[in-house]
A and B are shown apart, each in its own frame.
Chain A
Amino acid sequence: MSQSLINKKRFGFISFDSVRSFGASLICILIGLLIGFLIMLFSSFSIDGADPISGLAYLFSGPFTALDPLQDFGNMIFYTVPLIFTSLSVAIAYKTGLFNIGAPGQFLMGTMAGLLIALGINSVGNPVQGVFVWILAIVAGGVAGMLWGLIPGFLKVFFGINEVIVTIMTNWIAANVFTWVFSLDGLKGMVNTASGKTGYLITTSLTGNSTPDLGLGALTHNSYLDIGIFLAIIVAVLIWLLLNKTTIGFSMRACGLNKFSARYAGINDKWNIVLAMAIAGALAGFAGVSYYLHAGIEIQYQSVYQKLPDYGFSGIAGAFLANCNPIGCIFAALFIRYINASGTNLVSVGYNRYFADIIIAVIIYLAGFTSFFKNLLKIHHKNSVNSQPGGKAKVPLPDDSKPETEKPQKGEIR
């Protein structure tokens, strides 16, 4: 039987605590949609033919109101995969008390390593080799991300430099390294010279090392859907197991919650910081390869140094919307992409697609308030149980913000 480590009475494997977390995330989403609606409502006065009601309906229906809902749905799932990985990256670091702003850089380093392998080896006509090269590229992406994540980890452990400051800089270093590496003369073969575009790399479809899709793409009207989603789900479950069921996770979370008591108890907090950054880096690296190894995705390497990949930063949003729960990251990422998928459809009712981004931004902003909403739910819960005298259910008590250390003992059961 699954055991929630956190606390509270459990219903099967779902604890009250996770119900509350879920409820809190739901409140964020609803308020975000409401604000989004208000923005659409007010802007409809200045946009000819804008229709806020259908706009809201489009938002709710995500990809399903598109011209080809099935294809849009497949694409939505595909775009969710890297977001799950970067959310997990931010989440596991945060559980250990670190703020991994470095996901974009780790993402790029993973992409770079993966593409060097997947574009460097030609497996056309040899599908078995293609699969092996693909696996190799995935692993290389993870390792590269991990090494890039270790930089801030080591700097924090040995010199006490804040990981946020370091990762902001390593992000840009990674972006510049990326453009520089693919500009090297020796790698001319990887640059796409055929289609008349400039600055693009060839895609894995040309080398036969692309992510297998097992017919999923065809099934969804030629969407980008491939097996990445299964990998992401498996990895999310593994991370959840690591955090909640193993001694490693126990010590990582102890460091995240209180590094002083962790240290006092003989837990090596330095080792845990390094480990967390390594895992976080690897996850962000996986995000990069899960995206760019797809046969149809191309990257304009020449402009990489100008802008950090969105996926890196959206991972922060995904992680916090999920309250840093690895399983929650799957749903948070799905949700973000779901709203995003409606963006293109908004055009048909007079809004441009950036409205979807505004709403996502509002929801993410509100995600900062999840603990506030969670406490709100606690109070309501307490009241509702108190109103049933003699109710046997153990109540999740308000762990009011101030621990009452110096209070008398008479009210033990609080």
Chain B
Amino acid sequence: MEQGPQYVIEMRDIVKDFPGIRANDHITLKLRKGEIHALLGENGAGKSTLMSVLFGMYQPDEGSIYKDGEKVIIRSPNDATALHIGMVHQHFKLVECFTVLDNIILGDEDSKGGWIKKKASKKKCLDLMRKYGLDVSLDSLVSDISVGMQQRAEILKMLYRDNDILIFDEPTAVLTPQEIENLMKTMKAMAKEGKSILFISHKLNEIMEVSDTCTVLRKGKYIGTVATKDTDAAKLAEMMVGHEVHFTVDKSPSKPKDVVLSVADLCVKNPFSHKETVKDVSFKVRAGEIVCIAGIEGNGQTELVNAITGLEPVKRGTITLSGADITDKSIRERIKGGMSHIPEDRQKYGLVLDYNIEQNFVIEQYREEKFAKRGWIKFSARKAYSDELISRYDVRSSQGSRTITRSMSGGNQQKVIVGRELDKEHSLLIAVQPTRGLDVGAVEDIHKKIIADRDAGRAVLLVSLEIDEVMNLADRILVIYEGEIVGSLDPKKVTIPELGLYMAGAKRMTINGDIITNSKKSSRSLGGDR
């Protein structure tokens, strides 16, 4: 391969080790000026680590980085900024109570005698916005603007600093399809102006659409770099996972029986903004069926689940579990009533990370006769139960039941939660993003277990942001948009683009089943508040 300044960034043979794991194993990445270079790989393939190395957040154990053909050592994000490398993180780094403009100039303020001069900065921002078609309201507080606009603010922040190498870490995960489209336009405009873009994603269609070149990583290893125009999505998928990909899971038709969960006219209010995050939601989940709530992140799914599981109070409406009104019941009563819950955030809610596997397995049942006698813990019974679950759910750990869950990988942490929730006596399983961040094998495994749980006669309420997961598992799809259920669909009949229209709010069903196509609404959602 040629060397030299034809590449603006060259990362050669990068190795980065974490305790027990090699996150990057001799990875080479070459970025040309003015190209959009996609970095593709599953969760855990090492994409974010590689970008963190480039951005100076990690130091590589081996390998070196060249900018314009010259070797550079990037010790911190400050070094990266000095080299005009900018990054839009997956979780934005904005000060919520500052205005957008303040956020953009933060750390790079123009000042005179200690007074900040904003006028020139604002002009520069406006010029940039015009040039790249970025719609940002500079004087709004960050807390008041939509996620999409926050992202544009982050992009503007990079441009303001005259960065010419821009890293985007999974930028589309939080956006609506329309916002994604606009982002793509902006990216193309920036590339045209000579900016070089690194774009992390595991969404094949986006990569096919926007990128010029694509580098694929798998389990920390470099698989290859291809020109996007010479390949297709199926080939990229194969490179990404290492074998041909079957996106579907075998599953027999559902045989719904009695209603297990019934939600009627449920409203949830955000305690801070007093906005209704869930609006008059009604649905039923029957034993033996998987009902899936589909929607783009932040459309009220979290709040809906929190209300059903008791983590958040309900403003109005009723929740009934197996015939009993549980609207105002405590979480423990709900659990005893047969509710199992695989939470969205496994580290915040699912596990006490500093407890070991054994303790986490019984965290809902520790007071029951099986595991305690007159308030004293039955250690041997607990250990036996934990050992059994470890082998049944194939939880891998260094010290068996005594492994502190913090030291385990995300997949195994999830197995602990899934094992606990499925093994517990339950009639309803609520699974929120049960496969987030897991590799393909683990995903398939969890999908099978959820289907098995359905076939065993449990009602399953699945909340997922992944369209593939929704289409694969659901017996019925409910689409949630801005806190409302806007469609009840049959996964066998609906197409993915159509589902997308519902999720974006461009289409909705009325109570009597009529379908309204609302083009106005979709355009409003572009820059508007969610």
**A residues adjacent to B (C-beta < 8 A):** 3, 5-9, 245-248, 250-251, 253-254, 257-258, 260-268, 394-395, 397-400, 403-414
In the bound assembly, the distance between CA atoms of A398 and B48 in angstroms comes to 22
Interface residue tally for chain B (C-beta within 8 Å): 65
**B residues adjacent to A (C-beta < 8 A):** 18-23, 42-46, 48, 219-220, 309, 311, 330-336, 341, 343, 346-356, 359, 363-364, 366-367, 372, 375-377, 379, 396-399, 402-404, 406-413, 437, 439, 441-442
In the bound assembly, the distance between CA atoms of A405 and B377 in angstroms comes to 30
In the bound assembly, the distance between CA atoms of A262 and B402 in angstroms comes to 19
Q: A264-B341, A408-B45 are in contact. Are A403 and B347 (CB under 8 A)?
A: yes
> Which residue on A lies nearest to B438, using beta carbons?
A409
Q: Which chain B positions have C-beta within 8 A of A8?
A: 399, 402
In the bound assembly, the distance between CA atoms of A251 and B407 in angstroms comes to 21
> Which residue on A lies nearest to B43, using beta carbons?
A406
In the bound assembly, the distance between CA atoms of A248 and B403 in angstroms comes to 22
B398 CB contact (under 8 Å) in A394, A404, A405: A394
Q: A246-B375, A414-B408 are in contact. Are A266 and B350 (CB under 8 A)?
A: no
Q: Which chain A positions have C-beta within 8 A of B375?
A: 246-248
- Report A374 CB to chain B, min CB distance, Å: 13
In the bound assembly, the distance between CA atoms of A3 and B359 in angstroms comes to 13
In the bound assembly, the distance between CA atoms of A264 and B343 in angstroms comes to 9
Question: Contact: B363 with A405, CB < 8 Å?
Answer: no
A257 CB contact (under 8 Å) in B44, B350, B354, B412: B354
B411 CB contact (under 8 Å) in A254, A260, A398, A409: A409
> Which residue on B lies nearest to A248, using beta carbons?
B375
Question: Contact: B437 with A411, CB < 8 Å?
Answer: no
Q: Which chain B positions have C-beta within 8 A of A406?
A: 43-44, 48, 410, 437
Question: Contact: A257 with B219, CB < 8 Å?
Answer: no
Q: A254-B352, A407-B21 are in contact. Are A245 and B334 (CB under 8 A)?
A: no
CB-defined A-B contacts under 8 Å, sample of 5: A260-B349, A398-B407, A400-B19, A404-B410, A405-B437
- Report A2 CB to chain B, min CB distance, Å: 10
Q: Which chain B positions have C-beta within 8 A of A397?
A: 19-20, 398-399, 407
Given contacts A404-B18, A405-B437, 8 further A-B contacts (CB under 8 A): A7-B356, A257-B352, A257-B354, A258-B353, A264-B349, A394-B399, A405-B347, A406-B44
Q: Which chain A positions have C-beta within 8 A of B311?
A: 263-264
Q: Which chain A positions have C-beta within 8 A of B333?
A: 266
Task: Tell me the total A-B contact number using a CB cutoff of 8 A.
Answer: 161
Question: Contact: A414 with B377, CB < 8 Å?
Answer: no
Question: Contact: B363 with A408, CB < 8 Å?
Answer: no
Q: Which chain A positions have C-beta within 8 A of B356?
A: 6-7
Question: Contact: B20 with A257, CB < 8 Å?
Answer: no
In the bound assembly, the distance between CA atoms of A7 and B377 in angstroms comes to 16
In the bound assembly, the distance between CA atoms of A101 and B322 in angstroms comes to 46
Question: Contact: A247 with B377, CB < 8 Å?
Answer: yes
> Which residue on A lies nearest to B17, using beta carbons?
A411
Question: Contact: A7 with B334, CB < 8 Å?
Answer: no
Q: Which chain A positions have C-beta within 8 A of B439?
A: 408-409
In the bound assembly, the distance between CA atoms of A8 and B358 in angstroms comes to 12
Interface centre among A7, A398, A412 (most CB of B within 10 A): A7
Top 3 nearest A-B pairs by Cβ distance?
A414-B20, A266-B332, A405-B410
- Report B17 CB to chain A, min CB distance, Å: 10
What is the interface of chain A mostly: helix, strand, loop, or mixed? loop
Q: Which chain A positions have C-beta within 8 A of B330?
A: 266, 268
In the bound assembly, the distance between CA atoms of A262 and B346 in angstroms comes to 12
- Report B307 CB to chain A, min CB distance, Å: 14
Question: Contact: A250 with B359, CB < 8 Å?
Answer: yes
Q: Which chain A positions have C-beta within 8 A of B367?
A: 247
Q: A254-B363, A409-B439, A411-B409 are in contact. Are A266 and B402 (CB under 8 A)?
A: no
In the bound assembly, the distance between CA atoms of A413 and B411 in angstroms comes to 12
Interface centre among B20, B219, B411 (most CB of A within 10 A): B20
Q: A247-B367, A263-B331, A410-B21 are in contact. Are A405 and B376 (CB under 8 A)?
A: no
Q: Which chain A positions have C-beta within 8 A of B19?
A: 397-398, 400, 414
In the bound assembly, the distance between CA atoms of A257 and B331 in angstroms comes to 19
Q: Which chain B positions have C-beta within 8 A of A395?
A: 398
In the bound assembly, the distance between CA atoms of A397 and B331 in angstroms comes to 35
Q: Which chain B positions have C-beta within 8 A of A394?
A: 398-399
- Report B409 CB to chain A, min CB distance, Å: 6
Question: Contact: A405 with B366, CB < 8 Å?
Answer: no
Q: Which chain B positions have C-beta within 8 A of A7?
A: 356, 399, 402-404
Q: Which chain B positions have C-beta within 8 A of A257?
A: 352-355
- Report B417 CB to chain A, min CB distance, Å: 10
Q: Which chain A positions have C-beta within 8 A of B413?
A: 403, 405
Question: Contact: B409 with A404, CB < 8 Å?
Answer: yes
Q: Which chain A positions have C-beta within 8 A of B402?
A: 7-9
Q: A261-B348, A264-B331, A397-B20 are in contact. Are A9 and B399 (CB under 8 A)?
A: yes
Q: Which chain A positions have C-beta within 8 A of B22?
A: 411
> Which residue on A lies nearest to B49, using beta carbons?
A407
- Report B380 CB to chain A, min CB distance, Å: 9
Question: Contact: B396 with A412, CB < 8 Å?
Answer: yes
In the bound assembly, the distance between CA atoms of A6 and B407 in angstroms comes to 13
B377 CB contact (under 8 Å) in A246, A254, A261, A410: A246
Q: Which chain B positions have C-beta within 8 A of A247?
A: 366-367, 372, 375-377
Question: Contact: B332 with A409, CB < 8 Å?
Answer: no
Question: Contact: B379 with A3, CB < 8 Å?
Answer: yes
In the bound assembly, the distance between CA atoms of A248 and B377 in angstroms comes to 9
In the bound assembly, the distance between CA atoms of A265 and B355 in angstroms comes to 13
Question: Contact: A407 with B409, CB < 8 Å?
Answer: yes
In the bound assembly, the distance between CA atoms of A153 and B349 in angstroms comes to 23
A407 CB contact (under 8 Å) in B18, B355, B366: B18
Question: Contact: B355 with A266, CB < 8 Å?
Answer: no
Q: Which chain B positions have C-beta within 8 A of A265?
A: 331, 335, 363-364
Question: Contact: A250 with B377, CB < 8 Å?
Answer: yes
In the bound assembly, the distance between CA atoms of A264 and B441 in angstroms comes to 28
- Report B153 CB to chain A, min CB distance, Å: 25
Q: Which chain B positions have C-beta within 8 A of A6?
A: 356
Question: Contact: B398 with A264, CB < 8 Å?
Answer: no
Q: A8-B399, A268-B330 are in contact. Are A414 and B350 (CB under 8 A)?
A: no
Q: Which chain B positions have C-beta within 8 A of A266?
A: 330-336, 364
- Report A363 CB to chain B, min CB distance, Å: 26
Q: Which chain A positions have C-beta within 8 A of B437?
A: 405-406
Q: Which chain A positions have C-beta within 8 A of B408?
A: 403, 412, 414
In the bound assembly, the distance between CA atoms of A334 and B23 in angstroms comes to 47
Question: Contact: A412 with B397, CB < 8 Å?
Answer: yes
Interface centre among B402, B403, B408 (most CB of A within 10 A): B402
Q: Which chain A positions have C-beta within 8 A of B309?
A: 264
Q: Which chain A positions have C-beta within 8 A of B353?
A: 257-258, 403
In the bound assembly, the distance between CA atoms of A413 and B379 in angstroms comes to 25
In the bound assembly, the distance between CA atoms of A6 and B406 in angstroms comes to 13
Q: Which chain A positions have C-beta within 8 A of B349?
A: 260-261, 263-264
In the bound assembly, the distance between CA atoms of A410 and B219 in angstroms comes to 8
